C-alpha cells in the first residue's frame, strides 16, 4: 500500500526552479519580482456540485487549475505558482495519474509550478482546493472598481457553450448528443485568458472573469465602480454551437450562463485600437459589446434598440439555503 | 434568505490595511517586504476526519488558522495574510458568527488578515481549506533539510495532551471526564509558535511543526537532512495532564501523538544560550531533548540509557486505502 507521502511524491513532487522551495517542507518559498504585489485567489471544487463523479480526471485536473488561473488573468497578473489540496475517499493511482497530468500540462503552459499542497482522506467524496499566486504591478492591476462612465465593455472568446453543455448533462435540456459533443469542451476544458490579462494590464480599466454569468459578473464590476451599463445583445459573441437553440435557452446561456472563464473588461473608448492589438498579441478574439454609463443598472438592447425584459437572474452558490 | 455574497460580506469582509486589496475582487493583492520570499502553506480540514461535526465553531475557526500559522512558524516566516475556502451544507449564521470570531481573533493576534476566499454549498459535509502567506529572508528560512550532525534537538511547549484528548473523545480510551477537561484545550485551541519561529529565524537550523507526531515529524527533518538522531525520553516535556496514565498510552501520546503544533527544531550546540534567549523573548518554553547524529535512524533512550523498543508508528492520512 503506497503511503500518502509516496503518492504525493509520485504525482506531485516535481523539480521547481532554482530559488524556489517546493513540495515537502512546512511551506513552499517563492520570490516576487521587485515592484510587484502578490495577487492570490482560492477556489473550492466539490464533487456533485462543481463536477460529476464520473468526469474525466484529466479534464478535471485541467479545469481545477484553469478556473484559478482565470482569476489571475482577470487581475492582469503573471502566474508565480500554485498549491493544491485534495480530500479524497481513496488514494487512487488510476485517478491521480490523469488528474495530475491535466493539472501539470496547464501549469507548464503558463509557467505556474505546483509548489505545495495537502492530501487527506475523506469519507465525504472528493473536494479539491486550489490557491494560485501571481505578480502584478499594483498600479496596473485590473480591479473591479476601475470602470468609468464612457468606457467600452469588451468580452473575450465566445459565450454560451458551457451553459448548454451543463444543462444537457444535467438533464435540464432534452438529450442531444450532437450538441453536447459541440459544447462539452467549453465546459470541461476552459482556457484561462492569462496572456490576454497580461496584455491588458495597464491598458484596460476594470476586468472580471465570467464564472457566474455575464450579467452577474458585469454587475460586480458595476457595483464596485458605482456605474451602470448598456449591452447590445446582437453584438455578443455567441458560440456557433448554440445555433438553432430555442431563443429563451440561448438567451439564458449567453447572458446568465456561468463557467465561461472568458474576460469581461472595460477600457477607454479612445483605446479601442490598442485593445484590439493587445488581443492580437494574446491570440484571443475580443468583442466590443457595450459601454459603461453613469446611471446604475444594466440595460440590454435588442437589434432594434429596445430594452430587453426577462433577463436571467444571477447564480447563487446556496440556492437551497433555508430561510433565516 | 441572505445570498452567498451577503454572508461573505457579513462575516469575512473586513477592512484591510492600505495597499492591500481584500475580499471582493478576482484576486487579493498584498505587498512583500524587499529581500523576502513568500512562504506559503495550505491545509484541508474535513468534517469527521479532522474535527467532529459538533465541535465548538469558535474553536474550529481558531484551529483552522492555527494549524496553518504553525507552518509559517516552522519556516521562521512572518504572516502576511491568508485565504479561506468553506464548502458548507448550509449557509448558517449560528455557525459562521462564532467560526469567524475564532478565526479573526487569532489572525488579529498575529497580524494575518483574511484577504480572500471562496464559499460554496456542498452536500458532502463541511470542508475547510486554508492557505497562509508569510515573508522570510531566504537565507534565514528554517528548512527541513538544514539539520547537521552534532545539532541539539529542541521541542517547544509540552507534548501528549492533544493525543490523549483525541483518544478520549474518539472512545479509544475509557471515559475520564476529569482528564478530558485537562487535555481538551491542547487539542482544540493549539497556539501556533509564530513568535518563536521568528525569534529562531537565522539562528536555528532545521524546524518542523509537530502535526503528525514527534517521531514522524523529526523523521522528516532527518530524512531531508540525511541524518539520524538520539532522543532522551526522560527529558521530553510531557504535559502534567498525562500524569498517572498507563505508560504505553503515555509513550504513544508523547512520541507518536499528532495535532500538537509545537516546534521541533535543531540548532548548533554552541548556540544553546541564544536559543534559550530567543525562547524567552517569544515567551515560549523550549526543551533540549536530544541531538542529531550522522548515522541514520532514531534512537530513543530511557532514563538508564537503554534504546527503547516498541516505538509508535507514524500517522498515515489514508489508513483505510485499499491495496494497490
pLDDT tens, position by position, B39-70 = 999 999 999 888 888 899 999 999 999 999 99
Inside any domain, residue B231: yes
Contact at CB, A42 and B323, closer than 8 angstroms: no
Inside any domain, residue B308: no
Contact at CB, A124 and B46, closer than 8 angstroms: yes
> Are A77 and A163 members of one domain?
no
**pLDDT interval class at A16 (50, 70, 90):** low
Last residue of a domain, one of B82, B106, B136: B136
Inside any domain, residue A318: no
> Are A208 and A99 members of one domain?
no
- Which of A12, A33, A42, A223 to mutate to probe the B interface, most B CBs <10 Å? A42
The residue that leads in pLDDT, B23 or A40, is A40
What local confidence, expressed as pLDDT, does residue B319 receive?
Answer: 40
> How many structural domains comprise chain A?
2
Interface size between A and B, measured as CB pairs under 8 A? 251
CA distance B122 to B46: 12
CA distance B82 to B117: 9
- Measure B147 CA to nearest chain A CA, in Å: 13
Contact at CB, B83 and A42, closer than 8 angstroms: yes
**Using CB atoms, which residue from A125, A141, A316 is nearest to B124?**
A125
> Are B83 and B59 members of one domain?
yes
CA distance B152 to B266: 5
Q: Is A259 annotated as a binding residue?
A: yes
CB contacts of B123 in chain A (<8 Å) are: 48-49
The parent domain of residue B56 ranges over 4-136
CB contacts of B1 in chain A (<8 Å) are: 318, 321-324
Inside any domain, residue B318: no
> Are B282 and B167 members of one domain?
yes
Q: Does A27 have pLDDT greater than 90?
A: no
**pLDDT interval class at A9 (50, 70, 90):** confident
A17-21, A308-312, B53-57: the lowest-pLDDT one: A17-21
Instruction: Name the β-bridge partners of B83.
Output: B116, B131
Last residue of a domain, one of A102, A136, A170: A136
The Cβ-side half-sphere exposure at A187, using a 13 Å CA radius, reads 25
Q: Does B260 have pLDDT greater than 80?
A: yes
Q: Positive or negative, the Cα torsion across B232, B235, B236, B242? A: positive
Helices first, then strands: H and E counts in chain A: 9, 11
> Are B180 and B79 members of one domain?
no
**pLDDT interval class at A2 (50, 70, 90):** low
Q: What does pTM read for this prediction?
A: 0.89
What are the cell numbers at B124? 458532502
Q: E strands along B16-77, which residues?
A: 28-30, 37-46
CA distance B16 to B111: 11
What local confidence, expressed as pLDDT, does residue A63 receive?
Answer: 96
Residues whose CB is less than 8 angstroms from the CB of residue A120 and which lie 6 or more positions away in sequence, other chains included? A85, A86, A87, A88, B44, B46, B49, B50, B317
**pLDDT interval class at B322 (50, 70, 90):** very low
Beta pairing class for B286-293 and B152-156: antiparallel
- Looking at residue B311, the DSSP 8-state letter turns out to be P
> Are B216 and B274 members of one domain?
yes
Q: CA-nearest residue of chain A to B221?
A: A25
CATH number of the structural domain spanning residue B54: 3.30.1330.10
Contact at CB, B124 and A129, closer than 8 angstroms: no
Question: What element of type H or E holds A130?
Answer: strand A127-136
**pLDDT interval class at B4 (50, 70, 90):** low
Using one digit for the tens of pLDDT, what is the confidence trace for A138-160?
A: 999 999 999 999 999 999 999 99
CATH number of the structural domain spanning residue B249: 3.90.650.10
Using one digit for the tens of pLDDT, what is the confidence trace for A64-100?
A: 999 999 999 999 999 999 999 999 888 788 899 999 9
> Are A219 and A294 members of one domain?
yes
**B96-116: burial string, b at 16+ Cβ within 10 Å, e else:** bebbbebbbebbebbebbbbb
What CA dihedral angle connects A138, A139, A140 and A146, to 10 degrees? 110
Contact at CB, B120 and A50, closer than 8 angstroms: yes
> What's the whole-number average pLDDT of chain A?
90
Q: Does B267 have pLDDT greater than 50?
A: yes
Inside any domain, residue B311: no
What local confidence, expressed as pLDDT, does residue A319 receive?
Answer: 40
Give, in order, the Cα–Cα distances in Å from B164 to each of A37, A166, B181, B208: 44, 48, 11, 22
What local confidence, expressed as pLDDT, does residue A320 receive?
Answer: 36
> Are B183 and B59 members of one domain?
no
- Measure A306 CA to nearest chain B CA, in Å: 31
In degrees and rounded to multiples of 5, residue B127 shows phi and psi of -130, 135
Closest by alpha carbon to A135, among B31, B240, B92, B294? B31
Residues whose CB is less than 8 angstroms from the CB of residue A277 and which lie 6 or more positions away in sequence, other chains included? none
Give, in order, the Cα–Cα distances in Å from B206 to each of A19, B55, B70, B281: 18, 34, 15, 20
- Which of B33, B44, B211 to mutate to probe the A interface, most A CBs <10 Å? B44
> Are A22 and A85 members of one domain?
yes
**Using CB atoms, which residue from A24, A32, A117 is nearest to B38?**
A32
Q: Does A122 have pLDDT greater than 90?
A: no
**pLDDT interval class at B315 (50, 70, 90):** very low
What local confidence, expressed as pLDDT, does residue B25 receive?
Answer: 77
> Are A114 and A189 members of one domain?
no
Q: What is the mean pLDDT of residues A162-190?
A: 96
> Are B95 and B160 members of one domain?
no
The residue that leads in pLDDT, A39 or B318, is A39
- Measure A27 CA to nearest chain B CA, in Å: 5
| C-beta of residue A32 within 8 angstroms of C-beta of residue A73 | no
Q: Does B24 have pLDDT greater than 70?
A: no
Q: Does B223 have pLDDT greater than 60?
A: yes
Instruction: Name the β-bridge partners of A145.
Output: none
Using one digit for the tens of pLDDT, what is the confidence trace for A205-239?
A: 999 999 999 999 999 999 999 999 999 999 999 99
In degrees and rounded to multiples of 5, residue B131 shows phi and psi of -130, 130
Beta pairing class for A297-301 and A263-267: unpaired
Inside any domain, residue B144: no
> Are B116 and B18 members of one domain?
yes
**pLDDT interval class at B317 (50, 70, 90):** very low
CA distance A175 to A168: 6
Instruction: Give me the percent of chain A exceeding a pLDDT of 90.
Output: 77
Amino acid at each position: 500500500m503506497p503511503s500518502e507521502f509516496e503518492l504525493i511524491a509520485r504525482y506531485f513532487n516535481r523539480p521547481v526552479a532554482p530559488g524556489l522551495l517546493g513540495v515537502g517542507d512546512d511551506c513552499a518559498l517563492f520570490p516576487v519580482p521587485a515592484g510587484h504585489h502578490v495577487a492570490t485567489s482560492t477556489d473550492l471544487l466539490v464533487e456533485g456540485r462543481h463536477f460529476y463523479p464520473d468526469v474525466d480526471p484529466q479534464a478535471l485536473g485541467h479545469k481545477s487549475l484553469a478556473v484559478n488561473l482565470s482569476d489571475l488573468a482577470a487581475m492582469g497578473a503573471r502566474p508565480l505558482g500554485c498549491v493544491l489540496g485534495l480530500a479524497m475517499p481513496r488514494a487512487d493511482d488510476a485517478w491521480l495519474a490523469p488528474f495530475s497530468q491535466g493539472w501539470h500540462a496547464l501549469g507548464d503552459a503558463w509557467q505556474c509550478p505546483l509548489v505545495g499542497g495537502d492530501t487527506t482522506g475523506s469519507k465525504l467524496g472528493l473536494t479539491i482546493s486550489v490557491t494560485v499566486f501571481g505578480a502584478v504591478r499594483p498600479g496596473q492591476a485590473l480591479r473591479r472598481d476601475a470602470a468609468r462612465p464612457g468606457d467600452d465593455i469588451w468580452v473575450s472568446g465566445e459565450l454560451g457553450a458551457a451553459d448548454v453543455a451543463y444543462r444537457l448533462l444535467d438533464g435540464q435540456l432534452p438529450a442531444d448528443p450532437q450538441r453536447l459533443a459541440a459544447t462539452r469542451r467549453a465546459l470541461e476544458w476552459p482556457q484561462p485568458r492569462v496572456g490576454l490579462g497580461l496584455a491588458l494590464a495597464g491598458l484596460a480599466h476594470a476586468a472580471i472573469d465570467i464564472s457566474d454569468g455575464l450579467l452577474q459578473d458585469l454587475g460586480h464590476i458595476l457595483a464596485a465602480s458605482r456605474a451602470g451599463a448598456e449591452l447590445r445583445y446582437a453584438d455578443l459573441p455567441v458560440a456557433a454551437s448554440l445555433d438553432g437553440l430555442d431563443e429563451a435557452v440561448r438567451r439564458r446561456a449567453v447572458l446568465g450562463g456561468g463557467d465561461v472563464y472568458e474576460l469581461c473588461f472595460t477600457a477607454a473608448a479612445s483605446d479601442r485600437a490598442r485593445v484590439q492589438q493587445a488581443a492580437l498579441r494574446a491570440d484571443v478574439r475580443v468583442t466590443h459589446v457595450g459601454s459603461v454609463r453613469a446611471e446604475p443598472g444594466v440595460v440590454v438592447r435588442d437589434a432594434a434598440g429596445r430594452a430587453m425584459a426577462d433577463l436571467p437572474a444571477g447564480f447563487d452558490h446556496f440556492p437551497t439555503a433555508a430561510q433565516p
